[in-house]
Every structure is written in structure tokens, then in C-alpha cells.
Amino acid sequence: MRWKRWVGVAAVAPCLTVGLSAQAGHSAKAPMGCSRVVFDGDVKAGEGFERVFAKGLKFYMEPLRSGWIVRVLAADEPRGPHDYAELATPPYRSVSPLLIGTDWSFRAQDAVAWNPRRFRYARSGEIFRRLAGLYGGVMANDAASSSKIAEIVSEQPEGVLQILDARMVPGLADQALMAAAVASHLEETPHEVDQSVAPSVLGRIEELRFRVKLDLPAGVSAAPGLVIEKIFCEPPTSGR
């Protein structure tokens, strides 16, 4: 299912995304009624956050030494080596909107300035397994696997994480080139600098307050207690 992008939400820099634009050549179809769930959360360094947002799916901010990684997991299945957001948000093992921290030479202020973070997630277990089956080929630089994954990813629902406030110790290093490509909203993002801790090379994010918006495929119900927004989405072009 192809999801319309919304005016006023900054997109991830093109050089850091794969296959997120709609493909040309498909005939126009009438938009469908879909929904989007909205919820807020906050985390401190070393803490996680999770919220079930639809039947069988949960959003998870997993704590790392460097910050956090955004994941979408099956809520009622054992956790495996991959997750629904990771496989639907290439490139893999690289700079990613899912990583909120000081990996890949991002300073703390760069991680906060990459705001909002736009990603996708597999809309079903079946799609997740198809992406997982292609993952090895993509990592081996197989062109056919990469092309197929890009095609499938373009059909998946979108999520956005907006940083509402942050507390951090800034980094002293020069800004890395990859960070400069996406970290452009520090002035527009409320944040506080912790003056009680000495700065370091990359710094540290101590606390985040955020808002998450997750588009739901047609026919998928939101978990109880969440804010729901009605949106329009285009129907699938190939049954995925």
C-alpha cells in the first residue's frame, strides 16, 4: 500500500534512503480510508519505552549505550534477529533514521537535530518474512534482491518520530558529513544542555520526549486508548 507523504514533515535526506518514493507507471486508483495512531513517550538514558499500537504489533525504543534504536516488533511472538522497522527501512548496517544516538560519528546535538525521523515498517508477518528472506541477498550486494526489497518497502506503512524535547551533553567533535546531510533542525527542536557534565567528543543524550505517528493499513485496528487520525492512502498495486 502506498502512503501519501504529508506537507510540513521533513523527509530523510535522499542519499540515506532506498526505495521510499512511489514508482512510476501505475494507473491511478481512488484513495482508501486508512488511519494513523498517535502517542507520546519519554525515555532517559539506559531506559526503554514500548507501546502496543495495533493487534500483534508494538513500538519499542530499545536503549543502547549510544542512545536508542526504534523498533517495531511482533507483540505476541519471540523476538528474532530482525524487526519490522529495520527490514522496511534500508539501508542496512548504516546511518538510519531508526538510530537516535551517537553511532556513525553523530554528536548528541546532531542526533537531536535529525528531527523528525521518518521510517517504514512491515505491515504483516508475511511481509516481514519476505523481507527477511531477501536480507541476505541485499547484504551480499545482489542487485535483484535489492530491487525487490525496494519495491516491497515502497508499499509499506510509514511512521514518524518527532522529538519534542531533549536533554543532552553536546559533543565537541566537528560535524560528520553524514550528520550534516540530515541534522538541520536543532534550532527548531526544544532542548536543554546539561551544564553539570563535561562535554565529550560525541556527547550524550540524557533524555528524550517524543511523539510517534504510525500509519495503519486498511482494516487494521488501533490498540485501545490511542489517539486515532483518519488519513487517505492509495490502494495496493500488486496485492502486497
pLDDT higher than 60, residue 79: yes
Question: What's the predicted TM-score (pTM) here?
Answer: 0.85
Give 236's pLDDT tier (boundaries 50, 70, 90): low
Report the residue count for the chain.
240
pLDDT given for residue 237 in this prediction: 63
Give 218's pLDDT tier (boundaries 50, 70, 90): confident
Q: Which domain, by its residues, includes 78?
A: 38-196+203-234
Between 131 and 7, the higher pLDDT residue: 131
What's the rounded mean pLDDT across residues 32-60? Answer: 95
- Distance linking the first and last C-alpha atoms of the chain: 7
Q: Which of 118, 123, 152, 116 is nearest to 135 (CA)?
A: 152
Indicate whether 16 belongs to any domain: no
DSSP, residue by residue, 204-235:
EEEEEEEEEEEEE-TTPPBPTT-EEEEEEEEP
Between 113 and 6, the higher pLDDT residue: 113
Indicate whether 7 belongs to any domain: no
Contact in structure between 73 and 121 (CB atoms under 8 Å): no
Indicate whether 3 belongs to any domain: no
Contact in structure between 172 and 201 (CB atoms under 8 Å): yes
Indicate whether 44 belongs to any domain: yes
pLDDT digits (tens, 9 = 90+) for 10-27: 333 333 433 333 333 333
pLDDT digits (tens, 9 = 90+) for 143-193: 999 999 999 999 999 999 999 999 999 999 999 999 999 999 999 999 999
Indicate whether 152 belongs to any domain: yes
pLDDT higher than 80, residue 28: no
What's the rounded mean pLDDT across residues 216-226? Answer: 91
Site of grid cell 550528520:
179
- Angstrom distance (rounded) from CA 1 to CA 152: 9
How many domains, in total, are found in the chain?
1
Indicate whether 150 belongs to any domain: yes
pLDDT given for residue 30 in this prediction: 54
Handedness of CA 50, 225, 213, 129 (dihedral sign): positive
Q: What type of residue is 119?
A: F
The overall average pLDDT reported for the chain is 87
Indicate whether 28 belongs to any domain: no
